[in-house]
């Protein structure tokens, strides 16, 4: 047994010696292989990369150390499918700055890799950075100036434009307008960021102009332009309106319902209904005598569904409907203290006008308020008379008789204002019924217009 154990011990020792000898041979082979190849030499790598965005391009700046063996820098992008070689010309023995502008790049962000090389096949390790390129989407997303109001003067062939204010950090350099005057000469006007009002001379009705804003965003290398917006002056319409056989009364209040009916609330508190006919005339339909007494209510108008809004003489807001010829209250008093001078019905809300301030009020059909009310949407609102045309545009007449149009949103917000007519101070009231606009003069005569609130300039004083 002892001899067997000794034999096993000797065999294990021999195997260990054999394994060690083989391992030493392998190690010698590896060392020999690397000795034959020689030590790998790397060039100095690109350092301190910075990028500066441009329009569909980028400028990249970097630094190269004192390694004298560097001859070129290769820049890769698009997963190394695209590349460019930049020769490196050393001008100093120390650290040296270099740069490149890479053109025709897609908008967005992209990774770039840099590697120094020389004619001996030596290379550096890779350096990388992510660069940003601007494009059309970026330009359109900048805070461009807007044209807030357009006042066309037909007689003077002049278009007065009011621009939105610039703000700190908006990168606006200037704005630009291009138009062709009545003589066929193209004019380009540069509007500095400090200028908020501009006048286009020799500009006749129906002509167009283009408007855009020019930016120079920080840390960039390019001026950026947003797309031109095209504006057209309204076309002059010389129409006095069609006189209706319907007799009006300047002491009555008039409002529409559903674009089909004209309601008259007269001085006696009667509510008289006229239906709009296909030929544009109005036919008497119904009368509710004394249903809305004037000694109780100072304003009354159709609101929504089958509901009406009333403003009492003690400035309370209430909702009503007409049932079996009687005015029936819906719910409780909506609000108090409504001492504003004027109210304009819209879809699902109404405006109040007081001290030249325009506010929105949203009432539900169960005579309760919506969550947001009393929001000021305009100040210095100086139009009288005024009306909401087809629930899309506020139409108003100023002190000089010019007619103005302001688009509204479903939340009552106002868009950009346009002057769309002159000589409208011949009317003391204006009323909208569907696509018709009615003007009531001091004689109690109604004149009807197939109205367009955007493309026509209504000249009544020629």
d(CA 322, CA 305): 12
* Alpha helices per DSSP H over 125-284: 136-141
Q: Residues 425, 303, 252, CA angle at the centre, nearest 5°?
A: 40
d(CA 403, CA 422): 6
The 10 Å CB-count burial string (b at 16+, else e) for 318-338 is bbbebeeeebeebeeebeeeb
From the list 244, 177, 243, the residue with the least C-alpha distance to 212 is 177
Q: Is the pLDDT score of 296 beyond 70?
A: yes
Residues 191-249 have pLDDT tens digits of 999 999 999 999 999 999 999 999 999 999 999 999 999 999 999 999 999 999 999 99
Q: In the structure, what pLDDT confidence band is assigned to residue 15 with cuts at 50, 70 and 90?
A: low
Predicted confidence at residue 13, as pLDDT, reads: 54
Q: Is the pLDDT score of 291 beyond 80?
A: yes
> In the beta sheet, which residues pair with residue 271?
265, 288
Q: In the structure, what pLDDT confidence band is assigned to residue 155 with cuts at 50, 70 and 90?
A: confident
d(CA 56, CA 110): 12
From the list 286, 249, 255, 282, the residue with the least C-alpha distance to 448 is 282
User: What domains lie within the chain, and their CATH numbers?
Assistant: 47-134 (2.60.40.10), 138-233 (2.60.40.10), 237-459 (2.115.10.10)
Predicted confidence at residue 347, as pLDDT, reads: 87
Q: Is the pLDDT score of 461 beyond 70?
A: yes
Distance of CA 248 to the CA centre of its chain: 42
Q: Is the pLDDT score of 25 beyond 80?
A: no
3-class SS of residue 28: helix
Residues 36-91 have pLDDT tens digits of 445 678 999 999 999 999 999 999 999 999 999 999 999 999 999 999 999 999 99
Q: Residues 34, 40, 45, CA angle at the centre, nearest 5°?
A: 160
User: Where does residue 89 rank: exposed (0-12), middle (13-18), buried (19+ CB within 10 A)?
Assistant: exposed
Phi-psi domain of 15 (left: phi exceeds 0; alpha: psi -120 through 50; beta: other): alpha
Q: Is the pLDDT score of 271 beyond 70?
A: yes
Predicted confidence at residue 367, as pLDDT, reads: 94
Predicted confidence at residue 404, as pLDDT, reads: 96
Predicted confidence at residue 45, as pLDDT, reads: 95
d(CA 209, CA 132): 33
Average pLDDT, the chain: 92
Q: In the structure, what pLDDT confidence band is assigned to residue 372 with cuts at 50, 70 and 90?
A: confident
């Amino acid at each position: 047994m002892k001899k067997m154990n000794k034999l096993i011990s000797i065999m294990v020792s021999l195997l260990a010696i054999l394994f060690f000898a083989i391992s030493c041979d392998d190690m010698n082979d590896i060392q020999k292989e690397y000795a034959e190849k020689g030590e790998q030499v790397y060039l100095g790598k690109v350092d301190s990369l910075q990028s500066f965005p441009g329009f569909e391009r980028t400028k990249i700046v970097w630094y190269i150390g004192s390694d004298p063996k560097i001859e070129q820098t290769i820049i890769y992008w698009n997963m190394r499918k695209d590349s460019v070689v930049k020769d490196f010309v050393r001008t100093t023995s120390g650290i040296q700055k270099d740069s490149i502008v890479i053109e025709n790049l897609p908008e967005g962000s992209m990774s770039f890799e840099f590697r120094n090389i020389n004619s001996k096949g030596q290379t550096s390790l890779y350096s990388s950075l992510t660069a940003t390129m601007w494009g059309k989407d970026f330009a359109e997303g900048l805070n461009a100036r807007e044209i807030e109001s357009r006042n066309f003067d037909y007689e003077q062939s002049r278009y007065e434009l009011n621009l939105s204010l610039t703000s700190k950090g908006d990168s606006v350099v200037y704005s630009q307008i291009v138009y062709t005057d009545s003589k066929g000469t193209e004019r380009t006007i540069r509007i500095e960021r400090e200028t908020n009002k501009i006048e286009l001379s020799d500009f006749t009705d129906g002509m167009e102009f283009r408007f855009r804003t020019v930016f120079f965003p920080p840390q960039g290398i390019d001026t950026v332009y947003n797309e031109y917006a095209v504006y057209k002056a309204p076309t002059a319409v010389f129409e006095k309106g069609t006189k209706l056989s319907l007799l009006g009364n300047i002491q009555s209040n008039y409002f529409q319902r559903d674009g089909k009916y004209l309601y008259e609330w007269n001085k006696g508190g009667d509510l008289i209904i006229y239906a709009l006919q296909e030929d544009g005339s109005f036919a008497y339909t119904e009368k509710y005598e004394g249903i809305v007494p004037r000694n109780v209510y100072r304003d009354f108008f159709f609101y929504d569904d089958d509901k009406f809004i009333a403003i009492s003489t003690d400035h309370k807001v209430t909702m009503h409907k007409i049932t079996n010829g009687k005015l029936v209250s819906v719910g409780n008093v909506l609000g108090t203290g409504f001492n504003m001078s004027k109210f304009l019905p819209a879809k699902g809300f109404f405006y109040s006008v007081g001290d030249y301030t325009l506010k929105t009020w949203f009432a539900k059909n169960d005579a309760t308020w919506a969550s947001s009310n009393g929001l000021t949407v305009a100040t210095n609102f100086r139009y009288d008379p005024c009306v909401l045309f087809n629930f899309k545009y506020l139409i108003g007449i100023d002190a000089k008789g010019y007619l103005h149009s302001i688009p509204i949103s479903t939340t009552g917000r106002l868009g950009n204002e346009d002057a769309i007519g002159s000589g409208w101070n011949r009317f003391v009231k204006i009323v909208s019924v569907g696509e018709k606009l009615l003007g009531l003069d001091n004689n109690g005569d109604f004149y009807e217009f197939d109205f367009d609130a955007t493309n026509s300039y209504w000249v009544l004083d020629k």
